[in-house]
């Protein structure tokens, strides 16, 4: 009787989470995979088959876009890490208690406005008749207006700006857990600044670095608005491809296949990254 009640309460406690997992995560993905395995043979007639995946492999535009999205996302992740780490280190270790909160808030501010508004902000700054171009003209550095928009560099800048907070937060929280004495011990035992960074700070922050990188990479690869709005004539992003399949071309089957491929591809990259750095999900993401 006692154990029945225990089991019942366990089930009741677990049920919302299990339902959430099942209804919002597992079922849609099964649906996506099932959808992606349907081939359209005529209006309202479908057959089981791998045609949508074969289309993907046979069309270089598709897998080139996926590879491009992947490599640019990796670049964005690396940049976010390189820029985010010093900021996180400053917030966690150098800034005073009071300014720390303010700095954290500053990092949060961009999240208060939507993706769309942020992208338009960049457009206002970087367009040919925008703030940056006019300013450079005013101070005489350039004689002709310059278009900074509509190229891959702008896309990368915009993406780094959008995702960097998600790099900083886990880094701050791991670095916060590292006592100052750990760093001082590193120096005291004879380490140079570089040695301390490489042998002590970075290994200690590794859980935060890895989880930050995973989040940032996934977010970047899955982002839609920023690459679309800031991107140029040649910058296609894989999510745009998925959107086009679903919405413009009414080709849900192939859109589903693309969606699943994106998921598989990003998971593969994350797995490779973990292998290369010798980390596991359990001792990084779970810990930070």
Interacting residue ranges for other proteins, rule: CB under 8 A: 7-8, 11, 15, 43-44, 61, 64-65, 123, 127-129, 147, 149-150, 179, 181-182, 184-192, 195, 199-200, 203-204, 206, 228-229, 232-234, 236, 241, 244-252
We find the least distance from the C-beta atom of residue 185 to other proteins, in angstroms, to be: 4
Q: Which is nearer to other proteins, 199 or 275 (CB)?
A: 199
Q: Which of 29, 27, 31, 7 is nearest to 18 (CA)?
A: 27
Q: Which is nearer to other proteins, 40 or 83 (CB)?
A: 40
Residues in contact with 202: Cβ distance below 8 Å, sequence separation at least 6, in sequence order? 209
Q: Which is nearer to other proteins, 252 or 265 (CB)?
A: 252
Distance (Å, whole) CA 146 – CA 216? 30
We find the least distance from the C-beta atom of residue 240 to other proteins, in angstroms, to be: 9
Distance (Å, whole) CA 126 – CA 230? 10
We find the least distance from the C-beta atom of residue 187 to other proteins, in angstroms, to be: 5
Q: Which is nearer to other proteins, 49 or 108 (CB)?
A: 49
Q: Which is nearer to other proteins, 33 or 244 (CB)?
A: 244
Q: How many CB atoms lie within 10 A of CB 226?
A: 25
We find the least distance from the C-beta atom of residue 203 to other proteins, in angstroms, to be: 4
We find the least distance from the C-beta atom of residue 172 to other proteins, in angstroms, to be: 18
Q: Which is nearer to other proteins, 200 or 221 (CB)?
A: 200
Ramachandran class of 250: left when φ > 0, alpha when ψ lies in -120 to 50, beta otherwise: left
We find the least distance from the C-beta atom of residue 274 to other proteins, in angstroms, to be: 16
288 close to 204: Cβ distance less than 8 angstroms: no
237 close to 101: Cβ distance less than 8 angstroms: no
Cα–Cα distances in angstroms (integers) from residue 2 to residues 5, 9, 252, in the given order: 5, 11, 51
Virtual torsion, Cα 15, 19, 20, 25, nearest 10 deg: 140
């Amino acid at each position: 009787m006692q154990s029945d009640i225990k089991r019942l309460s366990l089930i009741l406690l677990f049920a919302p989470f299990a339902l959430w997992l099942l209804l919002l995560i597992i079922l849609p993905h099964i649906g996506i995979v099932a959808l992606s395995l349907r081939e359209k043979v005529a209006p309202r007639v479908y057959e089981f088959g791998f045609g949508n995946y074969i289309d993907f492999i046979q069309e270089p535009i598709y897998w080139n876009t996926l590879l491009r999205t992947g490599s640019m996302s990796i670049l964005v992740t690396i940049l976010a890490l390189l820029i985010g780490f010093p900021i996180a280190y400053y917030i966690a270790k150098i800034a005073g208690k009071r300014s720390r909160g303010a700095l954290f808030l500053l990092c949060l501010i961009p999240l208060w406005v939507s993706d769309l508004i942020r992208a338009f902000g960049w457009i206002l700054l970087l367009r040919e008749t925008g703030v940056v171009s006019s300013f450079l003209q005013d101070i005489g550095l350039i004689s002709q207006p310059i278009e900074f928009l509509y190229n891959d560099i702008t896309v990368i800048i915009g993406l780094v700006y959008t995702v960097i907070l998600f790099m900083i937060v886990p880094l701050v929280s791991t670095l916060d857990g590292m006592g100052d004495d750990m760093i001082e011990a590193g120096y005291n035992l004879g380490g140079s600044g570089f040695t301390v960074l490489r042998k002590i700070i970075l290994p200690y922050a590794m859980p935060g670095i890895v989880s930050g990188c995973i989040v940032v990479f996934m977010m970047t690869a899955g982002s839609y608005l920023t690459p679309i709005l800031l991107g140029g004539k040649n910058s296609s992003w894989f999510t745009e491809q998925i959107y086009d399949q679903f919405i413009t071309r009414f080709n849900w089957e192939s859109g589903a296949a693309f969606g699943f491929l994106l998921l598989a591809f990003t998971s593969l990259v994350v797995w490779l990254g973990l292998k290369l750095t010798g980390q596991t999900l359990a001792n990084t993401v779970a810990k930070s």
